[in-house]
Chains A and B, each alone.
Chain A
């Protein structure tokens, strides 16, 4: 049976406003929403623009809003939606570049701001770093983040304040803070000790809810806050790291 897919279309160069276009399409039983979009494009309208790459929920390209829920299109089964009309929109909180494609610029800017790279001390140890797996448990959890921006799109703080760094960037920082190999300075941490950094979070956990990889970014932000309080205190008493 055919289903109606209401897809948001917008070309800022030619259109005044975004509008919905309705496509009739009959998905196959096991189709993901990414496969549905591809089939609609391949069979009905090759001009439909959306991002995609791995189709297995690891590249982070295809986060969208489907029936009002933020999700990865490739991970969402059509059959699980159980509606006669399916509404497909781009991610909120980011500007539309065309159709379902949004501009990630503020997301990447925040990512770069936190210094998203390991800052070890000294040269490469001869036989590698010696780190027990138990010390890396949190690192493993937070590094599963695929930078799809679902959390950024769902975050109410990012909606009202575009200077807010957002959950993905902050949890990336937390991933390094929890890594025993990382020796970043107090100054590096201080960069996020701001109202648009770790103190901006409303702790409403929308990021945890929408994360397709169960990263739980809000937990990371919470961890950074605790870390910052400890580091500030240490710094106050001259016990610099």
Chain B
């Protein structure tokens, strides 16, 4: 089959992968938006989510639907711990140093996952069983569908959180003007802590959702950092909807390009895309030029 024959399938796959990228990009942005820190350990957060999900579903008295909320809580606590141990000690230094600290934190997390889970790939059963949905000449699995729905649901809840809750507004305010936010009673320490917790939760759900599709392995996440960053830049750093839009378009374009060029060279065109993007539209495809 040629690319032209496969276009429907590639589109479907691209959308699924893209919604996953979008989720990771959102997770990245929750942190970057409120702290200006680029979390290089984001991919490892996703890996941890996938692997912990493997453990949770192996517990006899838990099923997928009881495991997911537990995973979200564990991930949130983990995010707070990560913030306390890795970011907090560098808080008086510029964001770039804290970003470097996430590189170190990621190495530690990867090492711990390697210790616990080793180098094997774990397969996870699809949450809804082995169903397929045929659309034209393409099909998507029930898990693919769940990924799309899950991304939409998380996006929606985050939009509600950031637009309508006091804490969400406070976090956006901190992103724009930390001192100003502090003056009106938003504690940047707490904001950062919650940002890491929420980011870890979203990452973990993304990891849990992708695990049945590609399998869980200790280094699953590292390759995700670049596409997620690119998706976030594509969507304009600072908008959750933009991140998902960026993820979806990157997923679809990526599926076609992988089909033509092979997935090994993905990093090369991602670099090209980033260069062009940051030169032409540094505020993203959907983002507006900020007042900075």
User: Do A and B interact with each other, yes or no?
Assistant: no
Enumerate chain B interface residues (CB-CB to A < 8 A).
none
Enumerate chain A interface residues (CB-CB to B < 8 A).
none
